[in-house]
Structure 1
Amino acid sequence: MKRKAVVLLSGGLDSTTVLAIAKDQGFEPYALSFRYGQRHEVELAAAQRVVAAAGVARHVVCDIDLRVFGGSALTADVDVPKHVTADEISGDEIPITYVPARNTVFLSFALAYAEVVGSTDIFIGVNALDYSGYPDCRPEFIAAYEQMANLATRAGVEGKSLKIHTPLIDLTKAQTVEIGQRLGVDYSLTSSCYDPDAEGRPCGHCDSCLLRLKGFAEAGLTDPLTYQESGT
């Protein structure tokens, strides 16, 4: 019998690749997505497409309205920063697209889900290279959370050590795309943009779009998504 794993799935490039990695490693994935008041809720439709294509055991979408706190361009009436090239993206400060404590919240729900389905493995697509400004994407955060999780759960107390898998944490976006390509990921199903239009087309100029486009370019591949501006 395959080991069960909870996979945090936004519907974006990274989490979709992580889902493929979990399956490739022999896990039976249980996907977990969130409707948290994000302006790019179109990603949930992408998550549904990814789940249908991957054939996961179960997909849960949790509702958490982080708009009650705001504090981010993704959950408040704040403009999403736009750039011309990926080189303009700075990792020296925490960007306005950071959602306060989001990964801490998401991992807490994943922890509960894992206990219910009898899993001791959680996969999350955090990356410390592309998003070095996000405090909850760092290896030390994941290590500390994993330690806490093993103290806070019935499974941990009973000696069933929980593991948080972060297979992309030290990879470039190009390396992530290359792994996905090798595993047969259909990136046309995904959505990465922070500020898509009404039709769900990516803007091509937010941090997430530019890093995605850079990753495909450096991998020598073409992003299958259709962007708002022709030629992007």
Structure 2
Amino acid sequence: MESGKAQLTQRRNFNKPALALAKLAQKNTSQEGLTLIECLVAIGVIAVVSVAFTPPIFLAVATQVQNRRAEQALQLAQGEVDRLRRTVEQGNYDDSQLPPRATDSFDLNEFKRQSAPNSAQRLQSNETYPSNFQTGRLIDVNGDGRDDFIVQTYRNRGVQRDGRTVAFNVGVRVYTAPQDFGRLENPPQRAASLHMTSGEGQQGRRPLALIYTSVIQSDNRNSLCSFRQFQGEGTNNAACQ
């Protein structure tokens, strides 16, 4: 009996290393990493997903940047018109404070056909506008020392009264800067389209903002006469009598 127990104990002791090796093998199996093929498949999936989603992301970001610049350009153009209207309404000005004259015609279609800018410059502190309507003003909107926009502002001859122009058409075109003037659409037919784009789009050929409007002094007794003259009725109308 004791001999049988001894044999059983000896057999168990003999099997302990085998059991330990089996447990170790089972443990290693549960902690195995990815195989080389599985890694390659995962890398391939990531690459395909990146290729599929990266271009739309770049396109969306580029379009957002262009839209933001177009919004800034429109604000610049509208601000220019508002400033001119305030100057004329206040009445204490002379024609040197108005945009340069591009044409004598009162025809709006001809007014819109005036040439695009062929140069640009930064103005001195005592200057309001360039002397030539084809010279744009360089504008740095964020104060970083780099020019962001080129603003072209011009007018027609308009109606003069008491030594100053009191009614006139004004055109404001805002281009991106820097600009290759030789590439510009001349004259510009419309503002640059804001379609989805990953590049500059139409910014290199057309203005980002385009405004044509009228500025008329309206706070004196001759305002109606000036307006009628501006409309092409001359001085032979009831308002000028």
Q: Specify which structure has the bigger relative contact order, considering alpha-carbon pairs within 8 angstroms and separated by 6 or more residues.
A: 1
Q: Could you say whether these structures have the same fold, taking a TM-score greater than 0.5 normalized by the shorter chain as the test?
A: no
More strand by share: 2
State TM-score, norm by structure 2.
Answer: 0.18
State TM-score, norm by structure 1.
Answer: 0.19
